[in-house]
Amino acid sequence: MNPTPRFPHFLHGGDYNPDQWLDHPEILEDDVRLMKKAHVNAVSIGIFSWARLEPEEGVYDFSWMDQIIHRLWDNGIRVVLATPSGARPAWMAEKYPEVLRVDDHFQRRHFGERHNHCPSSPVYRQKVRQMDTALAERYASHPGVILWHISNEFSGDCRCPLCTARFREWLEKKYQTLDALNKAWYTDFWAMRYTAWSQIEPPSPVGQNSNLSMILDWRRFSTWMCRDFIEMEKEAVRAADPSIPVTANLMERFWDYDYFSLAESIDVVSWDCYPLWTGKDDDATACDYAMNHDIMRSLKNQPFLLMESTPSNVNWKPVNKLKHPGMHLLSSMQAVAHGSCSVQYFQWRQGRGNAEMFHGAVVSHAGRDDTRVFRDVTEVGEVLETLDPLLYAAPVETPKVCILYDWESRWAVEYAQTGLSHGMQYHDTVLAHYHAFWEQGIPVDFRDMREVTDLSGYSLVIAPQLFMFRGGIEQKLEEFVRSGGHLVMTYFSGIVDEHNLAFLTDTPHALTHVLGVREAEMDALFPDESNAAVTSDGTAYPVSGICSLLELEGAQAFAIYQDDFYKGTPAITRHTYGEGEAWYLGARLTGESLDAFYQQLAQSLGIPRALDCDLPHGVTAHARGRVVFLENYSGKDQTFFPEGHWTDLLRGLPFDGHLPASTVRILTRDE
Ligand code: GLA
Ligand code: ZN
C-alpha cells in the first residue's frame, strides 16, 4: 500500500512547531524559504499544539494553523496533521484531574510533561474527540493534508479506578467466569484465588506483582486499551473524509504494547528512529536499526514511514554525538533500503527553550542555511527526488528468511524467573540471529504467532527462544517442515501456553517429533563461564549464557558440548522430517558462532544475497526494487569487487569497488 495516496512520493521533512514561533512572523516566513532550499516536501504539525488550538475550554483558535497550512501548500509542502492528544492544556488538567494518569504506585500524576493521559477517562475521550472532529472538519478536505498522525508515541498504562474497572470488564469478557480466570492465572499459588471481580487490581510493585499470567493479561489489556483509544481518534478524524490514512508513530525495542496487534488499528506504520552513530565501528548499531526497520515493515507487511530521526544529534543519550560526515545520508538510506517511504526529522527548527533546545534540528538557533547539517539534509532531499521515480512504487521483495518475533512470548520470556532470571534478553537474542543475515545482505521478514501468520513462502524460519506457543504455531511449524521448509529453533521454546502455564508435555511442546529431540534441562552460565558446541569435523562454536541438555529422539547430534558435566552430549541437533529439516540449538551461540552457523546454512539452501560476494565486517548490502544500497558502517574505507558490473547511480559512474567510511553507494546492475 502507498502510505500517502494524496502525495505518492518519498516524503522529506519532519516535525515542525510553528506554534513556538507565533511571535516571530519573520521566522515563520523564512521557514518556508529554507524548507524549499532543503528539498523538504512534507512536515508534521500540531503534535503538541492543544494549548494553542483550544486556549480555553470550548474556545478554538485555528487561525494560526490555517495560515501555516495555506502557506505551506502555496509552496508545494504537504502536511502530516497530528491530533494533539499527546499533551493537554493546563486548564483541562486543573478542571478535570481524571484526565491525568495514575502510576503503578496508584498515585495520580499532576499537570505537566506529556504522554501521560488516562486512556479511559470519558472526559478526556470526549475532549479528544471534539478536538479531532474540529481538526478533521476544517482540514481533511485540504489537498495539502496527506496523513493523520494520531497523538504521539503512545506508551504506558494507567491504574486509576476507571482503568481498573475496564480491566475487570475486559477480563470478565475474556474469561466469563472467575473459575476460568483462577485456572488461567494459577491462583492456587500463594493464596491468590479471587472470589469477586472487584478484588482484581492492576499489577503493581505495591500490590500483585508475582502473578505472571495476570501480568501478561495486563499487557494484553494495555495493548487493547491503546488500540481502543486509537480507534476512537481514528473514527473522529475519518468522519469528515475517510480517504486520508492514519498512522501512529511507533518506537524502537518497544515493550508496553504488542505492535503486531496495534498495527491492525492503523493504516500506515511509522516510527521514530534514534541510533547513536559513532563514526567508528558501527556494525552493531547498524544491524540493530536495520532490524527495527524490518520489524516495522513486517508489522503490516507494507512500506512504512520514518517519522522521526535526528539530522545531527539527540540530547537525551548519555553521550550525544554528532553524525560523522556521510552518516546522515547513509543512515537515511538505510531506512529507505528496508522499506521506508520517507526520511522525516525531529525537528525542523531548534526550539529556544526547555528540554529540547539542544536537540539536533535542520535549522539551528542562528537560522542559517550554510551549516553542515543543512547541507547534509539538503543532500538527502535531492537523493530522495532522484530515487522517487525508480523506487517509490517498486514492490518490496519477499524475503526467503523469516524470524519469529512475538510480543506475547517476549513478555513471558522476560518475566520468567529461571535461567538468566529477568535476563533472557529476548530482543538481543533475536538480534544476534538477525545479524548473521544482515551482514550477508540477506533480507529478513519478522512474523509473530497471530493466526494470520503464514509461513508457507519462506525457505528458512527461525524461532529464537519461542517460549510461548500460541495461535497454532506448532501446527504451522510442523506443516512448514513437512512440506520442505527449514526450521531453526533454540533452547527455551515451546514451554508455556498462552496463559503462561507450562505445557504438561515434553519440550518443545508438540514438536519433539519434528525436531527429533527434547530439551531435558536448562543450565545457566555465569558471565565469565563459557562452553563450546563442537562438530564432528572439529569446528567449535563458542557458547555463553545458556546450555540446555538435550535427549535425542531421532535427530543427529550436529555438535556436542566441549565442557562441564554434560561434555559430549548434544548441543546442536538436526533432523530430517518430511521434505524438510529441523535444527535445534540447545545452547546460546555467541554472535560470531551464529554468523558462521547461518552463513553455511544460507549457502547450503541457496538463499540469495543482495550482492553475490562476501562483504567486509561492517559493510552490508540491501536491495529494493532495481537498486542495491551498499552501506559502510565499519568506520574504515573499504575496497572490494562484487560480481558483475554496477553503476553508482548518484555519480553516474561505474562502481569502482571503493567505499569510503560512513558512505552509501546506490547501485544498479548494468544490463
Ligand atoms: C521523540 C518524540 C519527539 C521528540 C524526540 C526527541 O521521538 O516523539 O517529540 O521528543 O523524541 O528525540
Ligand atoms: Zn485511567
pLDDT 10s digits, 625-646: 899 999 999 999 999 889 899 9
Q: Is 359 in the pocket of ligand 1 (CB under 6 A)?
A: yes
DSSP β-ladder status, 486-490 and 460-463:
parallel
d(CA 591, CA 542): 9
Name, in order, each residue with C-beta under 8 angstroms of 219's C-beta and a sequence gap of 6 or more: 256, 257, 258, 407, 408, 411
pLDDT top residue among 117 and 396: 117
Contacts with 76 (C-beta within 8 Å, 6 or more apart), sequence order: 36, 41
- 244 Cα: distance to centroid of ligand 1 (angstroms): 24
Could you tell me how many helices (H) and strands (E) the chain has, helices first?
A: 17, 26
Tell me if 154 CB under 6 Å of ligand 1: no
Q: Tell which wins on pLDDT, 410 or 671.
A: 410
What pairs with residue 521 in β-bridges? Answer: 549
Q: How far is the centre of ligand 2, averaged over its atoms, from the C-alpha of 99 (Å)?
A: 8
Per-residue pLDDT band for 422 (boundaries 50, 70, 90) equals confident
Distance CA 78, CA 69 (A): 8
Q: Got the DSSP string for 402-450?
A: EEE--HHHHHHHHH--SSSTT---HHHHHHHHHHHHHTTT--EEEE-SS
Three cell numbers written together for 481: 517442515
CB neighbourhood size of 194 (10 A): 16
Ligand 2 geometric centre to CA of 225 (Å): 10
Q: Is position 233 annotated as part of the catalytic site?
A: no
Closest ligand (CA of 229): 2
Mean of all residue pLDDT scores within the chain: 97
Asked if the model's pLDDT at residue 660 lies above 90, the reply is yes
Give the 3-state secondary structure of residue 477: helix
Is the beta carbon of 308 within 6 A of some atom in ligand 1? Answer: yes
Architecture category of domain 619-669 in CATH? Sandwich (2.60)
308 is catalytic: yes
By percentage, how much of the chain surpasses pLDDT 70? 100
The single residue of 54, 98, 233, 308 carrying the catalytic annotation is 308
Task: Report the pLDDT value the prediction gives residue 217, as an integer from 0 to 100.
Answer: 98
313 lines ligand 1 (CB under 6 A): no
Q: Which ligand is nearest to the CA of 164?
A: 2
CB 314 near ligand 1, within 6 Å: yes
pLDDT digits (tens, 9 = 90+) for 336-351: 999 999 999 999 999 9
Res 395: pLDDT: 76
Q: Helix (H, G, I), strand (E, B), or coil: what is residue 474?
A: helix
Q: Which ligand is nearest to the CA of 120?
A: 2
Task: Round to whole Å and give the CA distance between 401 and 454.
Answer: 13
Which whole number is the average pLDDT over 580-608?
Answer: 97
Q: Residue 280 has which C-alpha cell?
A: 567508528
Cell numbers given for 154: 503512545
pLDDT of residue 514: 98
Mean pLDDT of 449-467: 97
Tell me the mean pLDDT in the region 116-144: 98
Marked catalytic residue, from 153, 478, 581, 631: 153
408 Cα–ligand 2 center, Å: 23
In CATH, the architecture of 401-605 is 3-Layer(aba) Sandwich (3.40)
What is the mean predicted confidence (pLDDT) over 170-176? 98
Q: Is 153 in the pocket of ligand 1 (CB under 6 A)?
A: yes
Single-letter amino acid, residue 146: I
Reply yes or no on whether the pLDDT at 54 is more than 80. yes
Domain parsing of the chain, residue ranges: 11-157+222-391, 401-605, 619-669
Residues 514, 501: Cα–Cα separation, whole Å:
23
- Does residue 396 carry a pLDDT above 80? no
User: What was the pLDDT predicted at 671?
Assistant: 80
Q: What is the DSSP letter of 356?
A: T
Decide whether any atom of ligand 1 lies within 6 Å of the 346 Cβ: yes
Query: What pLDDT shows up at residue 400?
Result: 98
What is the model's pLDDT at position 367? 97
One fold for 11-157+222-391 and 619-669: no
Q: What is the pTM of this model?
A: 0.98
Q: Tell me which of 48, 346, 349, 362 to substitute to probe ligand 1's pocket, judged by most ligand atoms within 8 Å of the beta carbon.
A: 346
334 near 663, Cβ under 8 Å? no
Residue 617, pLDDT above cutoff 90? yes
- Is residue 408 a contact partner of residue 468, using CB atoms and an 8 Å limit? yes
Cβ 286 vs Cβ 621: under 8 Å: no
Determine the pLDDT at residue 302. Answer: 95
For residue 146, the model assigns a pLDDT of 98
List 460's β-bridge partners, or say none. 401, 486
* 276 three-class SS: coil
Distance of alpha carbon 543 from alpha carbon 547, whole angstroms: 8
CA dihedral 116, 122, 127, 131 (to 10 degrees): 90
Q: What share of the chain is helix, strand, coil (3-state, %, to 5)?
A: 35, 20, 45
Residue 421's pLDDT band (boundaries 50, 70, 90)?
confident
Residue 609 makes CB contacts below 8 A (sequence gap 6+) with 440, 441, 442, 621
| CA dist., res. 125 & res. 121, Å (int) | 6
CATH number of the structural domain 11-157+222-391: 3.20.20.80
Residue 345's SS3 state is strand
The per-residue pLDDT for 105 is 98
Give 243-260 pLDDT, tens digit per residue.
Answer: 999 999 999 999 999 999
Is the pLDDT assigned to residue 117 strictly greater than 90? yes
Spatial contact of 644 and 627, defined as CB atoms under 8 Å apart = no
Per-residue model confidence as pLDDT tens digits over 486-527: 999 999 999 999 999 999 999 999 999 999 999 999 999 999
Give the Å distance between the CA of 361 and the centre of ligand 1. Answer: 12
- φ/ψ (deg, to 5) at 664: -120, 140
Question: What are the pLDDT digits (tens) for 182-200?
Answer: 999 999 999 999 999 999 9
Nearest CA-CA partner of 238 in 165, 132, 329, 166: 132
Backbone angles phi, psi at 9, to 5 degrees: -145, 165
- Whether ligand 1 lies within 6 angstroms of the CB of 272 is answered as yes
Residue whose C-alpha cell reads 539527540 in the numeric block: 314
pLDDT tops 90 at residue 147 = yes
